[in-house]
Structure 1
Amino acid sequence: MSGIISNLINDGTTLVEEAKDEIKRVYKEDDRPWVVGYSGGKDSTVVVQLMFEALMELPKNDLNKKIYVISSDTLVETPLIIQSINTTLHRIQEKAMQLDLPIETHKVKPKIEHSFWVNIIGKGYPSPNQQFRWCTDRLKIDPANQFITDKVDSFGEVIMLLGVRESESATRANVIRSHSVEGKILMRHSSLNNAYVYAPIKKFSLDDVWNYLLSNESPWGDNNFDLHRLYQDSNSGECPLVIDKTVKESAGSCGNSRFGCWVCTVVNEDKALTGFIQNGQDWMKPLLNFRNYLTSIRDDRSMRMKYRMNGQVYFREVQFEDIDDKSYVLTPKKGGRQKKLELFSDYKVIEKENLNNYLKTHNIDLSTSDDPKILIKDDDNKLKRLGLGPFTMEARQEILRNLLSIQKTLHHPSDESYELIQEAELREIRNIWFKHGDFEDTLPKIYTETTNEELDWEKDERMLFDERDLSRLEIVCKEHGVDFKLFKKLLSIEKNHSGFKVRRGLMDQLSSALKQDYLHL
C-alpha cells in the first residue's frame, strides 16, 4: 500500500508537512485573498484541513489576508451530503472565530431564475444528459464564478484553492499540466481574469488522502471516519466544486461515481442514492424513484414539444433496421438504455413543403403531446422526423404534481423543514408559465390540490380572462385561422409593456413572436 509513509522525501519531511509548508509560503507571499472550494468530499476536506492547520501554525502577525471557504449548493444536492456540508461550514466558521483566524465560510447558490426546477418545470428544459448538460453551468459554475468575480472587483486579484489531484485520472492530470507554468506554483484561471488557481494536493495519491484524513483529527471537530463511511455508504465519490467552464467535462458526471445532485439524469444509474438506500436510508427511495421517472420521460416524444424554445422547427435524420423482412424506424438510446423500434409501415412519408398543410388538415399542435407518425422527405431526399424541444406545458404540470406529492410525504430524519422545491421557485415558475400562455393560472391550483395547503399567492392583475373567455377566444382564433398560442403570447408581451411611457423593446418582441418557425412551415 502506497501512502504517506512511502512518500517520505529526502530530508525526512512527509508529503503532508511539505504541503503545509508550501501553503504557508504561498499565503505570506502577497495580499491576494484566497477562495477555497469545499465540496464536502475527501479531496476538498484535505485542502481545507491542511490550510486550517497551516494558519494555526503561523504567527498571528502573519495572518493578514482573508480566506473564503465556499461550497456550492445547487438546491438539489443529495440530502445527506448537503446536511454534512452545512454542519462542517458552521463548525469551520465557529472554530476560526475562536482561534481568530481570517476565515469566512459561504454557500453559493444559483439565482432562483436559474435553478433546476425553474429550468425543468418552468421553462421546460429537458432533463440534462451528456449531450445537453446545461445544469453544471447554471447550478455550479456560474454561482461560484460570480462569488470569485465579486472578490476580484473588491481586491483586484484572487487565488482559488482546489482539491484537484493529478492521480485522479489521466484527463485531470492533463488539465492540470496544461494550465501550469514551469517553475510556478500558481496556475492562471482559463476563463476568469485576475484569478489564479493553487492546487496544494495535486501530488497526493488516493492513499495519501485517506491516510492523512484518518490519521489526523479535524481541527474544527468533524469525524473524518464519518466521511469515510459516507463514501462507503454511497458507493461513490465526491462531486467537485467546478469553477471553470473549459474543463467542466473532466469533472465527471456526479451521478455515476460521485455524489452530487439527487436529480442527476446525466447517467443511467445513480449509484450514490442507490448506495445510501442499500445502507439503510430507506426514506430516500422516493427521491430515487422520482429521479428515474425524470430520466424515463426525457425522450418520451409525447412529453416534448416538437420545436425549440425560440419556435425553431428542426429535423432529425432517422435510422432504419430490418428484422425478419420488416423495416423498423430506429430510435437509438445512449448508454445502456434500450433502443426503440417502430414499424416503418406505420409511418406516413410526406414532402417537406407539404408539412404545414398536413399539420393543419389533421389539427396537430406541435406544442402538445401530439406526435404525428410522419417522416419528412427533406430537400436532400433523406427521411427525417421532427426534432424535440422543451417539455410540453402538460408535462411540466405533471412533473410538478409528482414532485409536490413526494415533498408532502417525504420525511427527512433530521430536518423537518427539508423541501424539494422552494416557495420562491414556485413563484418564479408561475410567472414563466403565464408568459408561456398559462392564462388559467394553474400553478396555485396544482399546489393546493396536491398538498392540501394554501400559499399566499399575490393576485396577478395580468390574468385578463376567465376560462370561459379563453374558450371563446380559442374558438374565434380557429375560425379566423389564427394560432391561439401566438395570440396569447402577443397578449402577454403587450401586457408586460403596458403602463410604461417608453415601451422599449415591444416591437422587437412582437416581431420575434410573429417570426417563429412553427408558424411558417
Structure 2
Amino acid sequence: MINNLISNMINKDFPKVDEAKKLVQEMYLEDHRPWVVGYSGGKDSTVVVQLVFEALSGLPKESLHKKVYVISSDTLVETPLIISSINDTLRRVQEHALKLGLPIETHKVKPPAEKSFWANIIGKGYPSPNQKFRWCTDRLKIEPANQFILDKVSAFGEVIMVLGVRDDESATRANVMKSHTVEGKVLMRHSTLSNAFVFAPIRNFSLDDVWNYLLNSDSPWGDDNHALNKLYQDSSSGECPLVVDKTIKESAGSCGNSRFGCWTCTVVTEDKALNGFIESGEDWMLPLLEFRNWLADIRDVRSYRQKYRMNGQVYYRDVRVETIDGQEFVIIPKKSRKREEKILLDSFEIVEKTDLKEYIIKHNIDLSTGDEPNILIKDEDKYQRLGLGPFTMEARELILRKLLEVQRDLKHPSEQHHELISEEELKVIRRYWLDSGEFEDRVPQIFREVMGYDLNWEFDDRPLFDAEQITDLELLSQEMNVDMKLLKRLIAIEKDYNGYKIRRGISQEIEKALKQDYLHL
C-alpha cells in the first residue's frame, strides 16, 4: 500500500482525484442549477475549489452554461493573516477564471454591521460566546451565507451547494451527512433551505488524499499549497468550515482551535490558532491574544454584567453550600476559564427571596450596573444569586476603549491602519446606545480620546440632552422614585415615534418597557 502511494505521488496518479473531477464535470453538465462553492481558506475547501476549477477547465467552452459562485465567509473578526490570504486567493481565482473564460465568480459574505460581533458585544451587551451560548455562528456565518444562497434561489429557483465535507472528518459529521443522503443520489438534501442541495465531491477522501493532491498538484490560480501545509504543520489545529446548515453547526465544532477561525473566539479555553501564529514568529499578534483572553476572563465577572436579561427578565442561579474543614463555603460555578469559586458563607448577607424587592429599594441598588451588594438570596432551603444579563454600559465602554487601543497600537506587517472594528460598526454601536436611552453621546468621546481624531458622525444621532439636563433628570427621577433606566427608555421610544402621523406600535413598546421584570421584583 505504501509503495503504491509513493508510486502514485511520483507519477501524480490519484484515482480518487480523477474520479472526483469526472463526477464534478458530470454534475455540472446535468442541469442549469447554479453552484455555490464554499471556501474557508483551509485544506478541504481549497481541494474542492481547485477540483472545480480544473474540472471546468477540462470542459468545452460551449458546455460552460451556468455560473459557479465561490463564496467565503468574513465574520469581520477573522484572524488578520487568514482573511488577508483568503482575499488574495479570491482575487487570484477571479482573475484566472476571467483569463480562461470560466463562469466562476468569487464573493465574500459578511454579516451586516447591525449584527456584527462588536455590534452585539459592545452595542447590545451580549456576553462573549461560550459552549452553551454560541450565538456567534448563526449571526456571523450561517445567516450571511444562507442569505447569499436564498438570493440565488430567488433568481434561479434552485441552487447546489458544493462543500468540502468528508465522511472521515468525524463520526458526527458522517452521521449528519448520511441522514441527508438519498440512496442512489449524489446530491444531499439541505436541512433548512428547501430549494438548496448539497454536493460533496471529496466526501470519500481521507486526510492523506487531501494533502497528496494539494502537495502534488500546482494551484491553477498560482497559490502555494506548500505554504498552506506549513500553516497546518505549525499547530495541531484545523480549519473553520463555512457553515451553511444549522444541523451541522455543532459537528463543525468551535473554530477557536482552528487556523482559520475568529481571533476573538472565546468558546474555547485556549486559542491555539493565535498561540500558534505567535509561536511561529508573528509576535505582532500578541496584543490580539491578550485582548481575547481578557474578554474571555471578564465574561462572568459579576461587576461587568447586568442582573437581568435584555428583555428585563430577572432570573436566579442556584449555588451550593459545602462544609470544608469545618467552615461553610458557597460554591459558585463559572462558565469561563475559571471553573468555580469558593467564598465563605459568612461573607454574604442573606436576604429572603420575598424581601428582595424591599432590600433593593432600601439600598438604592441599580441592577443595570455592576454595583451589586454581596448578598445570597434564600429561597426556602436553597441559596441563589441573581442571574447575569448583558454587559453593563460601563463594561461595554471599557471593551470599546481597550479594543480601540489595541487597534491604534497594532503593528500589522502589511497594513499600517488595520481595522479591528469598522467605522460603520462604531456608528451602529452609537445608535444602539442612544436608542437604549443613553443620553451621553459616549462613542464619539471614547473614539476621540483613544484615536486622537474624529469620525464624520451623523448629525441626526446627536444626544437629546446636554450634561446639565441629564443631571436634572437624574435628580428628579431619584426624588420622585422613578427608575432612571425606565425614564430613558420611554424618552427613547418617544424619540423613535416622533414626527409620525400614525404612531402604530407605540403603545406596545411603552407597555413592554413598563412590564420589565426588574421593575416588579
* TM-score, length of structure 2 as denominator length: 0.97
Amino acid of the structure 2 residue aligned with 1:274: N
State the 1:381 CA deviation: 4.0
Instruction: Measure the CA separation in 1 of the matches of 2:62 and 2:238.
Output: 38
* Alpha carbons 1:234, 1:273 under 8 Å: kept: no
Counting only pairs closer than 5 Å after superposition, residues 426-505 of structure 1 correspond to structure 2 as 426-460=426-460, 463-505=463-505
Cross-structure match for 1:507:
507
Cross-structure match for 1:297:
298
Instruction: Measure the CA separation in 1 of the matches of 2:327 and 2:37.
Output: 60
Q: Helix, strand or coil for the counterpart of 2:351? A: strand
Instruction: Measure the CA separation in 2 of the matches of 1:6 and 1:31.
Output: 40
Cross-structure match for 1:128:
129
State the 1:411 CA deviation: 1.7
Instruction: Measure the CA separation in 1 of the matches of 2:56 and 2:145.
Output: 24
State the 1:333 CA deviation: 3.1
Cross-structure match for 2:50:
49
Amino acid of the structure 2 residue aligned with 1:211: N
State the 1:6 CA deviation: 8.8
Deviations for 1:496-519, whole angstroms, at most 9, x for unmatched residues?
A: 100111111111101100000000
* Alpha carbons 1:3, 1:208 under 8 Å: kept: no
| Higher alpha-carbon deviation: 420-429 or 169-178 | 169-178
Instruction: Measure the CA separation in 2 of the matches of 1:341 and 1:461.
Output: 46
Deviations for 1:25-83, whole angstroms, at most 9, x for unmatched residues?
A: 11111010000000000000000001110001111111101000000000000011101
1:156 aligns with 2:157: yes
Q: Helix, strand or coil for the counterpart of 2:414? A: coil
Deviations for 1:336-370, whole angstroms, at most 9, x for unmatched residues?
A: 63421111111122222211110111111100012
Q: CA RMSD in A?
A: 1.7
* Alpha carbons 1:34, 1:68 under 8 Å: kept: yes
State the 1:437 CA deviation: 2.3
State the 1:256 CA deviation: 1.9
Cross-structure match for 2:418:
418
* Alpha carbons 2:300, 2:334 under 8 Å: kept: no
Instruction: Measure the CA separation in 2 of the matches of 1:327 and 1:2.
Output: 63
State the 1:13 CA deviation: 7.0
Instruction: Measure the CA separation in 2 of the matches of 1:254 and 1:324.
Output: 42
Instruction: Measure the CA separation in 1 of the matches of 2:160 and 2:93.
Output: 20
Deviations for 1:75-126, whole angstroms, at most 9, x for unmatched residues?
A: 0000111011000000000000000000000000001100000000000000
> Any runs of at least 4 consecutive aligned residues in structure 1 with deviations exceeding 6 A, and if so which?
1-4
State the 1:322 CA deviation: 2.3
Instruction: Measure the CA separation in 1 of the matches of 2:334 and 2:363.
Output: 30
Q: Helix, strand or coil for the counterpart of 2:256? A: helix
State the 1:4 CA deviation: 8.5
Q: Helix, strand or coil for the counterpart of 1:256? A: coil
Instruction: Give the 3 Å change call, closer, same or farther, for CA 331–324 of structure 1 in structure 2.
Output: same
State the 1:258 CA deviation: 4.7
Instruction: Give the 3 Å change call, closer, same or farther, for CA 358–80 of structure 1 in structure 2.
Output: same
Cross-structure match for 1:409:
409
Instruction: Measure the CA separation in 1 of the matches of 2:497 and 2:97.
Output: 51
Instruction: Measure the CA separation in 2 of the matches of 1:364 and 1:151.
Output: 53
1:176 aligns with 2:150: no
State the 1:418 CA deviation: 1.7
Cross-structure match for 1:395:
395
* Alpha carbons 2:320, 2:330 under 8 Å: kept: yes
Among all aligned residue pairs of Structure 1 and Structure 2, give the percentage whose two residues are the same amino acid: 64
* Alpha carbons 2:66, 2:103 under 8 Å: kept: yes
Cross-structure match for 1:377:
378
Instruction: Measure the CA separation in 2 of the matches of 1:281 and 1:461.
Output: 40
Cross-structure match for 1:5:
5
Instruction: Measure the CA separation in 2 of the matches of 1:7 and 1:441.
Output: 69
Cross-structure match for 1:85:
86
* Alpha carbons 1:7, 1:15 under 8 Å: kept: no
Amino acid of the structure 1 residue aligned with 2:347: D
Instruction: Measure the CA separation in 1 of the matches of 2:366 and 2:236.
Output: 45
1:327 aligns with 2:328: yes
* Alpha carbons 1:407, 1:420 under 8 Å: kept: yes
Instruction: Give the 3 Å change call, closer, same or farther, for CA 336–423 of structure 1 in structure 2.
Output: closer
Q: Helix, strand or coil for the counterpart of 2:411? A: coil
Instruction: Give the 3 Å change call, closer, same or farther, for CA 355–220 of structure 1 in structure 2.
Output: same
Cross-structure match for 1:316:
317
Cross-structure match for 2:349:
348
Cross-structure match for 2:265:
264
Deviations for 1:387-416, whole angstroms, at most 9, x for unmatched residues?
A: 000000000000000000011111211122
5+ unaligned residues in a row in structure 2: which ranges?
none
* Alpha carbons 1:493, 1:506 under 8 Å: kept: yes
Cross-structure match for 1:14:
15
Q: Helix, strand or coil for the counterpart of 1:457? A: coil
Instruction: Measure the CA separation in 2 of the matches of 1:293 and 1:520.
Output: 35
State the 1:233 CA deviation: 3.1
Instruction: Measure the CA separation in 1 of the matches of 2:7 and 2:406.
Output: 50
* Alpha carbons 1:72, 1:241 under 8 Å: kept: yes
Q: Helix, strand or coil for the counterpart of 2:369? A: coil
Instruction: Measure the CA separation in 2 of the matches of 1:161 and 1:416.
Output: 36
Amino acid of the structure 2 residue aligned with 1:493: I
Q: Helix, strand or coil for the counterpart of 1:318? A: strand
Instruction: Give the 3 Å change call, closer, same or farther, for CA 22–3 of structure 1 in structure 2.
Output: farther
Instruction: Measure the CA separation in 2 of the matches of 1:493 and 1:92.
Output: 49
Cross-structure match for 1:248:
249
Instruction: Give the 3 Å change call, closer, same or farther, for CA 462–505 of structure 1 in structure 2.
Output: farther
Instruction: Measure the CA separation in 2 of the matches of 1:225 and 1:187.
Output: 32
Amino acid of the structure 1 residue aligned with 2:488: K
